[in-house]
Structure 1
Amino acid sequence: MRAYLASVLMGAILASTLFPLDFLLPRAGLDWRAAGDAAQHAIAQRHFLADAWRWPLLELPTLVGANLAFMDGIPLLALPLKLLAPFLPEGFHGIGLFYALAWVAQGPATVFALRGFGERRLLPALAVALMALSMPAFIMRFGHAALCGHFVLLAALGLYARALGDARWWAAAIPFQVAALLVHPYLALMALAVLAAAPLTLLLRRRPWGRAAAGVAGAAAAMGAAMALLGYLGAAGEGGFGQYAMNLLSPAWPHRSWFLGGLVVAEVDATGHGGWEGYNWLGLGLWAALAAGLLLRRPRLRPHAGLALACLGLLALAVSSRVGLGGTVLLELGPVPAVLEQFRASGRFFWPVAYALLLGAALLLAGAGRRGVAILLACALLQFLDAIPARAALRLWAQERQPWTVEATALRPLLRAAGSVTLVPAWPCVAKEDGPARVRLLELLLLGSESPRPVNTAYVARWRGEAPRCEAPGPLRPGELRLVLPGWAPGASGCAPLGDLLVCR
């Protein structure tokens, strides 16, 4: 229990230094705005919290029927917040709060995983929790709150290890898999791959594996049923598997390393898409722990051969069908099955592999006696120091206060009094290359979400069925507020300028 409490405290202290209070607990009327994907997530949660309970549960009728999950609104947090909605301040959403929860959960999830593999001492647990809190790929997921839920992957590793020895843990794996889905589908798929390693490990150990296989099947079935009930199935995105892959050098590419970061200036990339989604620098402390562990003890992969094979499969998904090394694409495998096109940010699939390496290094060192534990503690400190630039980048982002570029003070009472809101142009009418128009639309959607009203458009990553088309606005309806960007025809008379917008009502 001491290890769990101490790891929670570590995460809470770090979260308190990274995230300002108004970031964690937002409200309407602030003089700054979230930007990019973070704005999309906030818009979705606000509309969900303000709406009545309905079925399908995650549908957002006030956002042209989008699904909360496909706007990364973190249903696992949004559902309990909806119960509290009458007591929350206007304009509240839980996106900022989830960052703090993810940091607090990261440590105890690591302790849970380490103990599942048999190491129960306090000092190794604290060292590994600190290293997990200092994993660069975890820290650098800012801008995308749901994907900060790496505690899901660590919990999956802990469940895998426990279920090998006690089949009763499969009863916990089934609701866990649904919860993972309600954080983010990418994390759920990674967690399921880790759990599926259990029957394979038992098979390779020549032990009974039927109950484990049934447990994995039950977890997969529960996730599939949740997807069907909550509207996940039938959704399609833009595709592009391989565009956002992990470069083979990424785990050793020390971007934002405090000690070695001067050797590189950006993420390594061979696909022309920046390398951000494939960023997987392991951290100098983890590299040191791996090297020391291999020097002190001989690793034994056979007891967890199924997990090793699962990690190889995840690694293959991470590097994708466009295998890059440095700035060169070494191998181009061509078209892939359609299902893989739904996971174009394939570089993320390395995350469970990184945590498996962390646990493996810790187990090697912790099993080498007091000297090994001392080295593990030193590596944890090294990992923590090496992550200083990553934490600084996260802190800077969380404290950034972008001003409104629209007349927010004048627009707020108009939006609050409106029966519905129409933005011109709608999202499908704007070319992908027109970044300024998209930024302005997202800003107006965010401002309107402080007091949600039905709106004609939204920024959504995936749609079920046919995505909305570009349509010209019709005549003004009673109660409608129409906001028109510069250069676009309002489709109505009686409009007045407000800043560089036209306001029609």
Structure 2
Amino acid sequence: MIVAAQQTRTCPGVRPAAKPPAVVPRIQPLSPRLAAALSYGFALLLGAGLALALFPAEMLVPRAGGAFAPQGDAAQHAIAQRYFLADDWRWPLLTAANLRPPEGVNIAFVDGIPLLALLLKAAFPLLPEGFHGIGLWYAIAWTLQPVAAVWALRGAGETRLLPAIGVALAASAMPSFVNRYGHAALTGHFCLLLALGAYARLVRGGGVAGWAGAAGLAVGTLLVHPYLAAMALALLAAVPTTLLLRGDRRWIGAAGGLVATVAAVFGTMAMLGYLGATGDGGYGDFALNLLSPVWPYRSLVLGWLVEREVDATGHGGWEGYNWLGLGLLAGLVLLVAAAPRAVGSALRRHAGLALALAGLTLLALSFRVGAGGAVLVDLGDPPGFLEQFRASGRFFWPVGLALLVGAAALLARLPRFGPVAVLALGLLQFADAAPNRAALAAWAGQRQPWTVEATPLRALLAEARSVAIFPTWPCVPKPDTLGDHGRQLQVLNLAAERGVTANTMYVARWRGERPRCDDAAAIAAPLAPGELRIVLPGARDQALASMPGAAALCAPLGEVLACRLGR
């Protein structure tokens, strides 16, 4: 032992040999394919899980004979799809001729989501009786929202897993997206994320194939909702503008691709009967408030500061609601503080997109610019074509989504903690949106009773060839103190379960002049064989006074009169 110990001593002036460094195992980055699969897989599971958690089964797969009544805009959309699905194939393609004959109704004017309706019509023999796809669309939109966000982020060049998880969480919790319940078509924000992803790829060079895909995306978005199509076209228009401002000669080819895309959209509009439609107008009534992006209505953390949406126009702040969310705002603040040069460089490199987003913001603000409860600027009457965009506040949606994708892409590049910062952004955004999700779930789960006698009306409609409801939609006075608009939609929903031809329908847009009230002659006409005439309280006195044989042919059914021959 002594010898051994002596052998371990070192000679004076001689350093002992250095120990070999410890081997620290390195974490290998995921392969590109595995990172992509995990990113999209997480986003898909997140979206599908949220859809199943928020929307009850009877909403996703509706059937005839439901015990509860559809409400508000959702009732209108369900009627349109049910009538369209029950009708024969016609030209123009989107016409439901069994609704308000002889001209019928273009379901695009009643927000019937033509893209989904056309697919369901092809499968109509396989669908349950009385099925419509409005509830199904909510599930589709919620499932695709985080998936499209990952696609947009990867288009921006960020392909790692943690940032993908963060952006998927944040996109599913964007307040302007979550808060769109009640209007199914307008939940299609995933179309805008797809357009952002298309922009990012096309500025790198997409060629003919890339622009063909962009044209298909734009046309598909049109068939979801025209507002979304206008936003998507604005994002795609940023491609040649960005390239031009970079001095990149590829802007000429991109401009050609954009022209072809716009032509495809307007060609589709002409072919399917969109062109020439007008609405009630009111551009500026439902605008973006300057404070809306930072107004924390329904924020889990800051919601106690405000009671409702911010509004300066007196029309409520629902359409202009654009709270960005606490996670996104925190991410933007961190980004500006930690990497201001990167932000400036990105804005210069994507100047065309920045200009498009600035233009959309101005369009959203409208000619009446409000801040808080006050109108700061009133530029008077807008040009007539802007009246098509009554709910102008919606045009800020792509701005918020672009801020999200851009912030995630830039934050992820910060050294050491970038990917974790994006994940934290997503987690904070998702948690902060809890009150909005709760409000959506409460709306989806409500069980509103029928205000008309549903069971006996269904029995009468089963024997009817047609139903005539009075007053018709143009004749319901505003404000509707008798509730006839709601009753009318409920009777139409019952009739739509079987596609019984109906004489009236509430539409958001129409051709030519606004439909006029001309009920007098129709009410005074004798009942036709197979006709079921439903008289709502607002037309009761007129019907009893002018309809032949009303006293003998009509019977009270709750608050309405049901009239038919041989009752």
Q: TM-score range by the shorter chain?
A: over 0.9
The reply to whether residue 497 of structure 1 matches residue 544 of structure 2 is no
The reply to whether residue 31 of structure 1 matches residue 67 of structure 2 is yes
The within-5 A match list for 1:352-501 is: 352-435=398-481, 436-471=483-518, 472=520, 473=523, 474-487=525-538, 488=540, 489-490=542-543, 491-493=547-549, 494-501=553-560
* Closer/same/farther in 2, CA of residues 444 and 100 from structure 1, 3 Å limit: same
Give, in whole Å, the separation in 2 of the partners of 1:341 and 1:101: 30
CA contact (8 A) 1:194 1:310 kept: yes
* Closer/same/farther in 2, CA of residues 468 and 418 from structure 1, 3 Å limit: farther
Give, in whole Å, the separation in 1 of the partners of 2:224 and 2:478: 28
The reply to whether residue 253 of structure 1 matches residue 301 of structure 2 is no
Give, in whole Å, the separation in 2 of the partners of 1:492 and 1:81: 42
Instruction: Indicate the residue corresponding to 1:18 in structure 2.
Output: 54
Aligned partner letter, 2:382: V
CA contact (8 A) 1:167 1:211 kept: no
Give, in whole Å, the separation in 2 of the partners of 1:265 and 1:63: 41
CA deviation after TM superposition for structure 1 residue 352, in Å:
0.5
CA deviation after TM superposition for structure 1 residue 165, in Å:
1.3
Instruction: Indicate the residue corresponding to 1:312 in structure 2.
Output: 358
Farther-moved stretch of structure 1 (427-436 vs 207-216): 427-436
Give, in whole Å, the separation in 1 of the partners of 2:349 and 2:365: 26
Give, in whole Å, the separation in 1 of the partners of 2:402 and 2:315: 27
Give, in whole Å, the separation in 1 of the partners of 2:548 and 2:205: 68
Aligned partner letter, 2:238: A
CA contact (8 A) 1:107 1:133 kept: yes
Where 2:274 maps in the other structure, the secondary structure is coil
Aligned partner letter, 1:113: A
Farther-moved stretch of structure 1 (363-372 vs 134-143): 363-372
CA deviation after TM superposition for structure 1 residue 369, in Å:
2.8
The reply to whether residue 284 of structure 1 matches residue 326 of structure 2 is yes
CA contact (8 A) 1:484 1:502 kept: yes
The reply to whether residue 107 of structure 1 matches residue 149 of structure 2 is no
Aligned partner letter, 1:345: A
Give, in whole Å, the separation in 1 of the partners of 2:288 and 2:98: 37
CA deviation after TM superposition for structure 1 residue 443, in Å:
1.2
In the TM superposition, what whole-angstrom CA distance separates every residue of 1:130-164 from its partner, at most 9, and x where no partner exists? 10000000000000000000000000000011011
Instruction: Indicate the residue corresponding to 1:42 in structure 2.
Output: 78
Where 2:376 maps in the other structure, the secondary structure is strand
The reply to whether residue 121 of structure 1 matches residue 160 of structure 2 is yes
Instruction: Indicate the residue corresponding to 1:206 in structure 2.
Output: 247
Aligned partner letter, 1:68: I
Instruction: Indicate the residue corresponding to 2:229 in structure 1.
Output: 188
Give, in whole Å, the separation in 2 of the partners of 1:129 and 1:492: 63
In the TM superposition, what whole-angstrom CA distance separates every residue of 1:300-341 from its partner, at most 9, and x where no partner exists? 211100000000000000110000000000000111111110
List, as ranges, runs of 4+ consecutive aligned residues in structure 1 with deviation greater than 6 Å. Answer: none
Give, in whole Å, the separation in 2 of the partners of 1:375 and 1:163: 28
Where 1:32 maps in the other structure, the secondary structure is coil
Where 2:82 maps in the other structure, the secondary structure is helix
Aligned partner letter, 1:331: V
The reply to whether residue 53 of structure 1 matches residue 89 of structure 2 is yes
Give, in whole Å, the separation in 2 of the partners of 1:111 and 1:456: 46
CA deviation after TM superposition for structure 1 residue 439, in Å:
1.1
Give, in whole Å, the separation in 2 of the partners of 1:258 and 1:140: 14
CA deviation after TM superposition for structure 1 residue 50, in Å:
0.2
Where 1:329 maps in the other structure, the secondary structure is strand
The structure 1 residue matched to 2:121, chosen from 71, 77, 82, is: 82
Instruction: Indicate the residue corresponding to 2:369 in structure 1.
Output: 323
TM-score by length of 2: 0.88
CA deviation after TM superposition for structure 1 residue 90, in Å:
1.2
Where 2:296 maps in the other structure, the secondary structure is coil
Give, in whole Å, the separation in 2 of the partners of 1:214 and 1:308: 21
What percentage of aligned pairs have identical amino acids? 61
CA contact (8 A) 1:66 1:463 kept: no
Give, in whole Å, the separation in 1 of the partners of 2:410 and 2:337: 10
Farther-moved stretch of structure 1 (65-74 vs 470-479): 470-479
The reply to whether residue 225 of structure 1 matches residue 264 of structure 2 is no
Q: How many corresponding residue pairs?
A: 505
CA contact (8 A) 1:105 1:151 kept: yes
The structure 2 residue matched to 1:339, chosen from 385, 409, 428, is: 385
Farther-moved stretch of structure 1 (316-325 vs 459-468): 459-468
Where 1:33 maps in the other structure, the secondary structure is coil
In the TM superposition, what whole-angstrom CA distance separates every residue of 1:101-135 from its partner, at most 9, and x where no partner exists? 00111011111111111111111011001100000
Give, in whole Å, the separation in 2 of the partners of 1:379 and 1:198: 28
Give, in whole Å, the separation in 1 of the partners of 2:484 and 2:559: 12
The within-5 A match list for 1:291-306 is: 291-298=333-340, 299=343, 300=345, 301-306=347-352
CA contact (8 A) 1:492 1:504 kept: no
Where 2:501 maps in the other structure, the secondary structure is coil
Give, in whole Å, the separation in 2 of the partners of 1:416 and 1:228: 37
In the TM superposition, what whole-angstrom CA distance separates every residue of 1:58-107 from its partner, at most 9, and x where no partner exists? 11211222210110000110001001111111110000000000011101
Give, in whole Å, the separation in 1 of the partners of 2:94 and 2:186: 19
Instruction: Indicate the residue corresponding to 2:26 in structure 1.
Output: none
Give, in whole Å, the separation in 2 of the partners of 1:155 and 1:215: 17
The reply to whether residue 135 of structure 1 matches residue 174 of structure 2 is yes
Q: What's the Cα RMSD here?
A: 1.0
TM-score by length of 1: 0.99
CA deviation after TM superposition for structure 1 residue 178, in Å:
0.6
CA deviation after TM superposition for structure 1 residue 492, in Å:
3.8
Aligned partner letter, 2:556: P
Where 1:129 maps in the other structure, the secondary structure is helix
Greater radius of gyration (CA) = 2
Aligned partner letter, 2:330: A
Name stretches of at least 5 consecutive residues in structure 1 with no aligned partner: none
Instruction: Indicate the residue corresponding to 1:263 in structure 2.
Output: 305
Name stretches of at least 5 consecutive residues in structure 2 with no aligned partner: 1-36
Instruction: Indicate the residue corresponding to 2:38 in structure 1.
Output: 2
Aligned partner letter, 2:533: R
Aligned partner letter, 1:411: L
CA deviation after TM superposition for structure 1 residue 466, in Å:
3.6
